[in-house]
A = this chain, B = another copy of it.
Amino acid sequence: MLLAEASEKIRAGLRERALIIVVGLMGVAYEGRAASTLGPGERLLIIKQDGSILVHRPLGYEPVNWQPPGSKIDVYLVDDYMVVEARRISPQEILRIIFHEIYEVYLFKLSDSAELAMYATEEDMKRAILADPSIIEEGFRPIEDERKVGESGFIDIFGVDGEGNLVVVEIKRRNATAADVKQLINYVDGIERELGKRPRAIIAAPGIQKSAVKDLKVYGVEFKCLTPKKCREVLRKKGGLERFID
């Protein structure tokens, strides 16, 4: 495909706010927060209506270079090359794609209004615990969620156990780290200062980093294994129940 012809088609796509797919032989230069160069190779360029731009190599999940939505995109011919330039300000960044050859340019006007439904985020894990507190332990009763503690931040779930002891629960959807344990200790300290009584501290996560295990004993924190998957099942069961009751 001739570069002049291709550049016209790309400009048309930009005007029409189409999704633009370009396949060809291109080099890439990026300068901004960091800087990178990539010599010529056969790649896939995607330009979206919102100004996002992605350069994909034949291998790998991630784009090799990109620019997020809102970038200003220009196309021009210089010597025997076609250049696509994507600029953004704040941070000042420029991505320049230099085409040596263009194999194909495709334009699409796509419509997609569906909403992504994502399950078992950390938020969902909290909802699962509130829906069925026994997954933390038998007799656990939540009192508050997102309780503020001094300057430290927010407790995921604050409650009482079967014996009437205060309990602070910290939720993580990934393995808990030493930093997580320390944050939880901050909360416990804050509550102790506030209410004059030291609560139990429970970290609920799918696992815990080995390096953090010793901190559990040192600081008297309890670990409760709780996976996102388990929470998904709890929410599903609860969802099913609600549907049945309605």
Contact residues of A with B, CB < 8 Å?
19, 21, 23, 27, 33-44, 46, 48-50, 52, 54, 56-61, 64, 66-69, 103-104, 106, 108, 110-121, 173-174, 228, 232
Contact = CB atoms under 8 A, between A and B. Distances in A.
Contact of A60 (B40, B50, B67, B117): B50
Given A58-B49, A58-B111, A119 B44 contact: no
How often does this chain occur in the complex, in copies? 2
A52 B120 CA distance: 24
A60 to B, nearest CB: 6
A39 B67 CA distance: 27
A36 B118 contact: yes
B57 A61 contact: no
B121 A34 contact: yes
Contacts of A42: 108, 110-112
A44 B110 contact: yes
